[in-house]
Amino acid sequence: MEKIYVVGHQNPDTDSICSAIGYAALRHSLGNENYIAARLGNVSDETGAILEYFDVKAPKLITNLRTQVSDIEFDTPPTLEMNVTIKKAWETLKDNKISAAPIVDAEGKLVSMITSGDIASYVMTSLYDFGEKVIPTFDITELFEVSIYKVCGEKEIQYFHLDDYIDDVKEVILKSRYRSYPVLDEERVVVGTIGRFHLIRHNKKKVVLVDHNELAQSVPGLSQAEILEIIDHHRLADIQTFGPIFFRNEPLGSTATIIAKMYDEQEIIPDKKIAGLLAAAIISDTVMFKSPTCTPTDVKIAKNLAKIADVSLDHLGEIMFSSSAVAEKPVKKLMYSDFKEFLIAGYKLGIGQITCLNSDVALKRKDEFMKEMESKKNEAGYDFIIIMFTDVLKEGTHLLFLGDVETINQAYDVIAKDNEVFLPEVMSRKKQIVPRLSELWG
């Protein structure tokens, strides 16, 4: 059955990973085994700690959704072994109404290709060599018994692999003149042939997006894929689809909350592990229910999930937030584990968020952070770069930023100094940091 990937945003956070796992599992419970949880990047330490706790594997890593040869309905003509005769080869081509077939060794691996043209030309050349002499019939029989390997010789064969991208295949095919090309699996075993014709229509990869609906945060090659559903709790952004889709957007604290509601609507109780992961995702996204994005629904559902999983929510919080201990880890790792890019009114900016139990420890490393921010800002061509140190105990966020200080002062009604400022009660990038910039610039 055709695979359907369920995938969250780039630089996946706990909500993106756990919602993908949770939704794929819900689909499995409904009998749709072809839903596969996926991720677009490394699992953060926070998420890793929670996956380990519940003993659940990280979702499959995918790097893009460009169409590959394996997405095409290519032909599967019979293959011929090297030692068969041209008579047999000719019959095979004729019986299957094809003009070419791959030649393989005993293990099915590609050796060459034979075409009806090769056979015709070999026979004609051989006959022609007799000139105008009378041809004895036994010679013709012998001719038919020649092994095909002799006929096609050692010509160079253009072939493709199952994981080759169609764009690349197209380029090669348009420049060459063959009618069909062998397709190989990773063991070089021939699994079929493709021709120009197959490139015209092919299946798109199918995907369900969770926890985002913003192109810049999604998987490369998305425009070549078919989006079946979007389940999200972020602002409506810019992803467009070819046809109508199932789109579910609710102003809740996490996508995991929506997934848990969907279990409920289907009257399915998630198993212990899934319930635990969804609860953890709610706690992570709402920063222990302290974020203004948190709603009473999030609290109610998280408590219910914790009951099913037989764990305490505080314990889940400890596992996740202490894992992002900010004293020792490399700055790059801290900065990019939850880093998102935004385009607001023509401004390009990057905003990273680090949730921690003690932001003072992190700020001792300000110089290191500023250095990395500087180089990232130049490299990515950002107008602004902001790193949020969201402090669970202080219930606020310490900002480090690079960009126009007046923007920060106006947007957050503060007086920032030395590229930093503390924002009490600010816990959410989505609801408190981004919207104020949008208002200011928009």
Interaction between residue 118 and Mn ion (CB under 5 A): no
Judged by beta carbon, residue 217 or residue 255, the one nearer Mn ion is 255
| Residue 254 beta carbon to Mn ion: minimum distance, rounded to whole angstroms | 5
Nearer to Mn ion, 255 or 353 (CB): 255
Using the rule CB under 5 A, is 211 a contact of Mn ion? yes
Binding mask 152-191 for Mn ion (x = CB under 5 A): ----------------------------------------
DSSP state of 42: P
Cα-flanking dihedrals φ and ψ of residue 375, to 5°?
Answer: -70, -35
Strand 80-81 with 100-104, pairing: parallel
- Whichever of 15 and 338 has its CB closer to Mn ion, that residue is 15
CB count within 10 Å of CB 377 equals 18
> Least separation, in Å, of the C-beta of 440 and Mn ion?
24
46 in contact with Mn ion (CB under 5 A): no
Please give the residue whose beta carbon sits closest to Mn ion in the complex.
15
Which of the ranges 58-66, 96-104, 206-214, 270-278 carries the binding residues for Mn ion, by CB under 5 A? 206-214
- Other Cβ atoms within 10 Å of 267 Cβ, number: 6
Q: Quick one: tokens of 371?
A: 């250095």
Number of residues interacting with Mn ion: please give it, by CB under 5 A: 5
Smallest CA-to-CA distance from 355 within 427, 418, 302 is with 427
If binding is defined by CB under 5 A, does position 285 make contact with Mn ion? yes
Cβ-proximal residues to 346 (8 Å cutoff; 6+ apart), any chain: 441
Q: What's the Cα-to-Cα distance from 169 to each of 70, 101, 145, 199, 284, rounded to whole Å?
A: 12, 19, 36, 9, 43
**Amino acid in position 136:** P
Q: Does 298 bind Mn ion (CB under 5 A)?
A: no
Stretches 75-83, 133-141, 285-293, 328-336: which one binds Mn ion (CB under 5 A)?
A: 285-293
Q: How far is the CB of 286 from Mn ion (least distance, A)?
A: 9
Q: Binding residue for Mn ion (CB under 5 A) from 10, 11, 12, 15?
A: 15
Contact stretch for Mn ion (CB under 5 A) within 15-23, 172-180, 302-310, 431-439: 15-23
Phi–psi pair at 408, nearest 5 degrees: -65, -45
Q: Which is nearer to Mn ion, 213 or 254 (CB)?
A: 254
Q: Is-contact 6 37, C-beta < 8 A?
A: yes
Considering only the stretches 7-15, 60-68, 70-78, 133-141, report the one whose residues sit in contact with Mn ion under the rule CB under 5 A.
Answer: 7-15
DSSP 69: G
- Residue 235 or 329 having the CB closest to Mn ion: 235
Locus of tokens 């600010």: 426
Of 8 and 182, nearer to Mn ion (C-beta) is: 8
Q: Residue 129: left (phi > 0), alpha (psi -120 to 50), or beta?
A: alpha
Q: Could you give the CA distance from residue 389 to residue 326 in angstroms, rounded to a whole number? A: 10
245-274 binders of Mn ion (CB under 5 A):
254-255
Q: Give the binding site for Mn ion (CB under 5 A).
A: 15, 211, 254-255, 285
